[in-house]
Each structure stands twice: as structure tokens, then as C-alpha cells.
Structure 1
Amino acid sequence: MSVTVDKSEARVRQMFGEISGRYDLMNHLLSGGVDYYWRWRTIRAVAPKGTAPILDVCTGTGDLAIAYWNAGRGQIPVMATDFTPEMLRLAEGKRDRQMGKKIADGAASLTFQEADTQHLPFEADQFQIVSVAFGLRNVTNTELGIKEMMRVSQPGGRVAILEFSMPTNPLFNVVYRNYFKYVLPRIGQLLAKNKQSAYDYLPASVSEFPYGKALADKLTACGLINVTFTPLTFGIATLYVGQKPGTAV
């Protein structure tokens, strides 16, 4: 039986604000460090080209945005957005510690801005890549978020979506679902106490959200072309890539 998850903007913003201080620790701990590998696969599959800027939405504490900045060797501007101020403050601190001196010495910018993915504050046709890691399922209106990501992409630009999914192997699927439903929420709530039960929300939101061909079909329906999806680590995560129609100017 499917569950209905409260993905209202106010609820999601408050929840992620409450867990922001332990967000990175929990991600690395609960994924066994595999999240680093998933981001590496994303950047390898959707590598920067030329000097046009890159946008990372629902950036959280900025890991994928920082990884893209490093992939561009400090020559490609990266913009990152999130609508949770507490997350953005942590992301800015990370940026300042890791590459603040390089940016001050003239490297490309890495800018964090508060914004809702459903209403991005950018002109159309700007970014060579628009990415999101583990954030699309938290957007209240999934289709609107996808269309906004496509709108601000350059013609011929790419949209990269890294998102949790469910394993296709039947035995592993059962084990993983039980871990996800019963073990993960207890660990998460113990280490990152919050009023919104964020680590009950996580398995519920993943279970409800489409994945594999279902999400790929949604990307196509929103107007992206050449859509592909690649399961990672037994299908625990999946990388989706689509292209905005047209030719880059």
C-alpha cells in the first residue's frame, strides 16, 4: 500500500533546517560512504564542457556543487540553490574552507543562493548542466521542478538527477526495505534528533517516489530528450540524464 508523504514547502524546509548540523555525518554514515562514489559517477557521466556555468539545485550542504567546481578546475562558475537557509550557511562554510583562497585569487565563482527549485530566479537558457542530488523527491511539484531545471538549461544542455531508488534484486530488495524502514529511522533519529521525524520521512519519500523507467518517462514527458537512467550500487541510487532540445549557441 502506498503512503502519502507531506512534502509541503514549509514542512520540508523546517525538517532539513532541524537536521542540517548532522546532515553530512548522517549521509556518509548511512550510505557507508558510497555517496562519494555516486557523486563521482555523476560528474564522470555528465562532465563539464567549455566555460558556460553550472547550476546545482536542492544543493543541501553543497557537496555536488563543490564537486562540479573541482571538476571544472576552478575555471567554470557554479551556482547552487536551496530553500533551507541553515543548509546554505553550512555549504558556504565548506566553500570558504576548501576553495575560498582560490576564488579570492581569481578562480571562477561558487555562489550559493536561497531559492525554490519550483521557481528558480534565473533567466532561461543559461546553464550547460543543471544537477540535483537526492533532492528532486523533496520538491513539492516534481514536474514543475523538472521543467524549471530544463528552462534554465542552455539548448542542448544536460539535466542530471541523482536520486535514491529501490534495488531490483528480489532478495536484496527485501533486506534493504527492512533496513530502510526499521533500522535507518532509529539510527537517524538518535544521531540527528528533530521534530519532523526526518528519517521516517526518508524511507517513506523514497518508497513513494517513481524510479527507473517511471521517472525516466516523467523526464521525457516534461520535454527532455535522449533520457537515460543508470542504476548504481545494486539499484540503491539511480542516475538520470536528459538533454534540453536545441543546439547550444
Structure 2
Amino acid sequence: MTVRPFPPQRRHTLFFLDQIRDFSPVFLGTEVDATAIGASRDAARRDGRRLSVVAHVVHAAAGVLRKHPLANAAIQGRLDPTVATFDTVSAKVTLDRTLDGHRVVLATVIPELEDASLADVQEHLDRATAADPDTAPEFAGIRALGLAPWRAALERFREAAAQLHNRPAVTGTFSVTSLGHRAVDGFHSVGGTTITLGVGRILDRPVARDGAVAIAPVMRLSLAFDHRVVDGAEAADVLTEIKDALEEGPR
């Protein structure tokens, strides 16, 4: 057996898991016919552009959450809780990166999605993916947490996470996380926001169409919601409308 200190490069993940202990998550799931997503990606490739599945999910979810302000919200406090509904929609998207030689989960926040096109979303994701976690300014806060004394780093993280007015810029107003690049059909995750979407892989599956069995590309999409903020019916509306938007294709 080998015992070693907890790697400082992953402190932010440990602090995050401590911060979301108050969450009361409930999990929903659906299947999305990904034919329209595939057609959109193919059209982009013919034009020499790249559009990821995650970009489609972020763009579709942002449009839906604009119509559901109660789900585009956050809660704070136990004895005298307050709920903030945000005037802007922003997405926290997780990234699988390497920081100082350690494989870690990092995140990028895409701001002001109410005014963003699908191409804008993809451009932001491309910049975040290309950024070097060891030097890029957007990851400086994570690097600082790893260098600071443990208690000071924890308090710094808690203070930043506790400020409701900073949530859209720091944690996003909703989260998207994907493991669809591997053989993962579906999963559920709590992303620190009232709504978190989990994206699985797209796989050809048998589906019923017009009373007959056909083969279509299907993506399993999950939604975790904080029951302290919204109820199941509202969350079900959000997930259903995101599914509908993805199946209709980007506008």
C-alpha cells in the first residue's frame, strides 16, 4: 500500500464537493434523437468548421433556461435562505485537462448565452480547450488554490462560492458535463448549479417510428436539479424542452 498527501492540483475538486453537501439533488433522464445534431455537425464540417455535441447542448439549454427563470437561479443559506434568479444565462462546462502533470477536472464558464450563437459557444469551448492549464490566465485561480496553505485555500474557495451575485461569472447559472467521448451511455452529476446536464455518447439504437422499428443515433441526456430551488415538474419541463430543441436542430 502506498499512502501520499492529497495532490494540491485537485484541491478545487475536493473543496467543490464539500461546498455542494447542502444540495438536495433529484435526477431525471431522457433520450434524444441525435439526427439533427449529426446533420448540423456534418454541415459545419463541409464548411470547414467544427461543432461539438457539447456546444449543441449548451446552446439549446441556454435558450430553454431563458424561459425558465426559476431554474436559472441559486439558493443560499439554511436558517434564512434566499434565492437569486439571474438576469443572464451562463454555462459551466467541465474539461478533462492535465495540470502540473496531474489529470484533473477544470471548468470554463461561457457568459451571456442569451446573446450567443452556436458558433459563439463553440469558439469559447475551443479557446478553453486550447488554453494551457499551467500558464493560462483563466486557470490562475485554480493554480493559486494549489499553492496556498490548505486552510487559506479552503476559505478562499468557500468565500468565492458563497457570493450569489458572482455565481454567473464564477460557477455559471447551469452546468454541462460530458463523458460521451468514451463508452458511457449516461450518467448523473451535480455540478454546483441548480440545473446540471450530463451528456452520454451518441450510439445507433433501435427506435419506433411510425409504428415500425428503425435505427437512429440516440444520446442519453440526464438532468440533476436542486430540489430546494425548483420542483420536479419545472425540471421535467426544462429537460423536455431541451430534448425538443436538440431534436429540432439549431436555429
How high is the TM-score relative to the length of structure 1?
Answer: 0.31
How high is the TM-score relative to the length of structure 2?
Answer: 0.30
More strand as a share of residues: 2
Higher relative contact order (CA 8 A, sep 6+): 2
